[in-house]
Amino acid sequence: MDQNKKAELKAWLSEIRRDIHQHPETAYEEVRTTGKIKGILDDLSIQNKTFEDVTGVLGLVANQDKGPTLALRADIDALPMEEKTGATYKSQTPGKMHACGHDANITIMLGVAKLLFDNGELAKIPGNLKFIFQPAEEGGAGAQRLIDRGVLKDPDVDWIIAGHASPDLDTGTAGFYHKQSHASSDRFTLVITGTGAHGARPHQGNDPLVPAAQFINSVNAMVARNVDALETAVVTVGKLRAGSTANVLPDKVEMEGTIRTLKPEIRTLVRKRLTEICQGLELSYGVKCEFEILDGYPPCVGTEEVSEFMYNTAAKVLGEDNVAWFPPTTGGEDFAFYAQVVKGSICRIGCRNEEKGMIHPLHSPYFDLDEEMLAHGVEFFHRCVLDYFKM
């Protein structure tokens, strides 16, 4: 591609990404985003469909009934948080922000579609190519909702690949996982009920704050003393609510948290021990504990064959010194649902640039990304398409 076309593509990618970034929509509310994606696919003459009961778009390039089928996936939802970047293209929707880079994930896959269209390659694909733009990755299991609506069927998908913006990696680099990439991500809720009393006379009540504090301390000790130090488990209490004034003991404490593990047996162990801790609190403090574990995403385990294909392709595009293998992360990812059904792999596309101040982590209100990563992502996934179909 000559320099003028590269510049035009970069400008197009930036415009698309910034528009999506300015109009973030959270899980299952991505109506505008869905419409924008559909409009671009229409402009590129790519057959597509939306769904009556869920947001998201499926694009399809169908050239052969019996040819291989490759799917490219992008997640499209934002997070319910206030943006604090101060960027000229910051979110225009109060309380919502693309803080996980899904605006970039969308833009890259749309860029692949545009590049294939501009190069006249869509009609030459000896098989079928799907573009899956799915809602609700941030806790809503949007992948499963689209799987239930047949996005991996008619034609059946052979491989599915995806990328995710990563501020842990510099722009121009990429990270890959041999097989497992992400942990399971369960949630728990705990309500501890005691008896309220005057803060000056706590003996007249049954303070639920003390067992709540004990639970938080016990959780940390439980992981350290029950899980092999060479294994992985994270239990975090992220939400705690109790009381309304300084001199009154509340009668109830509510908390929520997350459980992250890599192996099924560790997942089972942690869930069992948390339940037992709550039972012990009831006996020790005479309170009532209502403890519930909500199943989250399963561990995301990809296919090594697909991962090696992506790694080798990235090495050709980005250079061998700019790609690397990484151990699994304790983050969750609903790409896991696709990987349970078909061969697939997800990778990390670097978007960090210290000189531009693009250094903040995912889910930070200050998160932003180096837009140079968009062109790198497009070039990489475009080459994946060409190499997969041996074009």
pLDDT tens sequence for the chain (391 residues): 678 888 999 999 999 999 999 999 999 999 999 999 999 999 999 999 999 999 999 999 998 777 899 999 999 999 999 999 999 999 999 999 999 999 999 999 999 999 999 999 999 999 999 999 999 999 999 999 999 999 999 999 999 999 999 999 999 999 999 999 999 999 999 999 999 999 999 999 999 999 999 999 999 999 999 999 999 999 999 999 999 999 999 999 999 999 999 999 999 999 999 999 999 999 999 999 999 999 999 999 999 999 999 999 999 999 999 999 999 999 999 999 999 999 999 999 999 999 999 999 999 999 999 999 999 999 999 999 999 999 8
Tell me the three-class secondary structure of the chain, residue by residue. CCHHHHHHHHHHHHHHHHHHHHCCCCCCCCHHHHHHHHHHHHHCCCEEECCCCCCCEEEEEECCCCCCEEEEEEECCCECCCCCCCCCCCCCCCCCECCCCHHHHHHHHHHHHHHHHHCCCHHHCCCEEEEEEECCCCCCCHHHHHHHCCCCCCCCCCEEEEEEEEEEEECCCEEECCCEEECEEEEEEEEEECECEECCCHHHCECCHHHHHHHHHHHHHHHHHHCCCCCCEEEEEEEEEECCCCCEECCEEEEEEEEEECCHHHHHHHHHHHHHHHHHHHHHHCCEEEEEEEEEECCEECCHHHHHHHHHHHHHHHCHHHEEECCCECCCCCHHHHHCCCEEEEEEEEEEEHHHCECCCCCCCCCCCCCHHHHHHHHHHHHHHHHHCCC
Residues 127 and 196 in one domain: no
Domain count, the chain: 2
Residues 254 and 355 in one domain: no
Residues 60 and 164 in one domain: yes
Residues 103 and 216 in one domain: no
Residues 368 and 283 in one domain: no
Annotated ligand binding at 178? The verdict is: no
pLDDT at 2: 79
Annotated ligand binding at 198? The verdict is: no
The CATH number of whichever domain residue 224 belongs to comes to 3.30.70.360
Annotated ligand binding at 100? The verdict is: yes
pLDDT at 66: 77
Residues 208 and 356 in one domain: no
Residues 307 and 281 in one domain: no
Domain that holds residue 322: 3-182+299-388
pLDDT at 391: 87
Residues 337 and 349 in one domain: yes
Of 251, 275, 297, the residue that ends a domain is 297
Annotated ligand binding at 102? The verdict is: yes
Annotated ligand binding at 164? The verdict is: yes
